[in-house]
C-alpha cells in the first residue's frame, strides 16, 4: 500500500503558526482540524487548545480528553536580522527541527515519524517560492526572514530595478502564503 502523502493529513506549519500569533509567549489558540473524506464531507478529526510559552507549544486534545503534548519551539536569530522559527518534533527519539508538523492518529509529529511521503506538488512549489523570495531579499539587503517587513531600496540600485524586484518579491510571498 502506498504511503499517505503529506497533503492527505492535516498539518501545522511555522508560517501559519506565526501569523496566528502562536509564537508570542502567553498566547492561546483553539485549533479545529477537519479533513475531507471520500464523500467530500469535513469531519472534525482534532480539537486542540494550543498554549504558547517562551520555548514550547502545548497541545491539549479536547476530543479524546487525552493528555497534553508539548512541542518545543526553536528560535534561531538570522544573520541579517529576524528570527527563524521551527518546531522540534515531539516524537520520542526524533528531535528533528522542522517547519511542518502533521496530525496523524491524534498527535503531531514530523513527516518522517509519521511515515508520510513527500511528493506534494504544492509543498515543493511553496518551498521554491519561498527560496526565490529569500534570494530577492538578499539581493536587496533585507533580512532573510520573509515575515519581516520589506526594507528600503539599496543606495546603488536604480528605482526601476528596485520596484521590479519588490513587486516580484511581494507576488512570490503572497503565493507562498496562500498555498497550503
Ligand atoms: Zn519526528
Nearest to 14 by CA among 100, 118, 109: 100
CA of 168 from ligand 1 middle (Å) equals: 35
Distance from Cα 48 to the centre of ligand 1, integer Å: 20
pLDDT higher at 141 or 48: 141
Contact 33, 10 (CB under 8 A): yes
User: Which contacts (CB < 8 Å, 24+ apart) does range 159-164 have?
Assistant: none
Q: What secondary structure does DSSP assign to 6-51, as a single string?
A: GGGS-EEEHHHHHHTTTTSTT-EEEEEEE---TTS---EEEEEEEE
Question: What is the rounded radius of gyration, in angstroms, for the C-alpha atoms of the chain?
Answer: 18
CA atoms within 13 A on the CB side of 39: 3
Instruction: Choose between 106 and 119: higher pLDDT.
Output: 106
The alpha carbon of 71 and the centre of ligand 1 are apart by a number of angstroms equal to 11
What pTM value is reported for the model? 0.60
Give me ligand 1 centre to Cα 99, in Å.
11
Q: What is the pLDDT of residue 1?
A: 42
C-alpha 87 to ligand 1 mean position (Å): 10
* Angle in degrees, 0-180, between the axes of helices 121-140 and 159-178, rounded to the nearest 10: 150
Confidence (pLDDT) at 6:
58
Read off the pLDDT of residues 65-111 as tens digits, 9 standing for 90 and up.
Answer: 667 889 999 998 887 778 889 999 999 889 899 999 988 877 889 98
Q: Alpha helix locations (H) across the chain? A: 14-19, 121-140, 159-178
Amino acid at each position: 500500500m502506498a504511503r499517505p502523502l503529506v497533503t492527505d493529513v492535516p498539518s501545522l506549519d511555522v508560517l501559519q503558526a506565526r501569523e496566528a500569533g502562536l509564537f508570542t509567549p502567553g498566547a492561546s489558540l483553539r485549533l479545529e482540524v477537519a479533513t475531507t473524506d471520500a464523500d467530500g464531507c469535513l469531519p472534525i478529526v482534532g480539537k486542540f487548545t494550543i498554549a504558547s510559552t517562551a520555548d514550547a507549544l502545548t497541545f491539549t486534545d479536547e476530543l479524546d480528553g487525552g493528555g497534553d503534548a508539548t512541542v518545543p519551539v526553536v528560535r534561531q536569530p538570522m544573520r541579517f536580522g529576524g528570527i527563524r522559527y521551527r518546531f522540534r518534533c515531539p516524537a520520542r527519539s526524533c528531535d528533528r527541527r522542522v517547519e511542518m508538523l502533521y496530525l496523524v492518529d491524534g498527535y503531531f509529529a514530523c513527516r518522517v515519524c509519521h511515515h508520510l511521503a513527500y511528493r506534494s506538488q504544492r509543498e515543493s512549489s511553496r518551498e521554491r517560492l519561498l527560496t526565490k523570495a529569500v534570494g530577492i531579499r538578499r539581493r536587496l539587503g533585507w533580512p532573510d526572514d520573509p515575515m519581516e517587513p520589506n526594507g528600503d531600496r539599496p543606495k546603488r540600485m536604480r528605482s526601476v530595478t528596485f520596484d521590479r524586484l519588490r513587486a516580484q518579491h511581494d507576488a512570490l510571498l503572497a503565493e507562498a502564503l496562500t498555498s497550503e
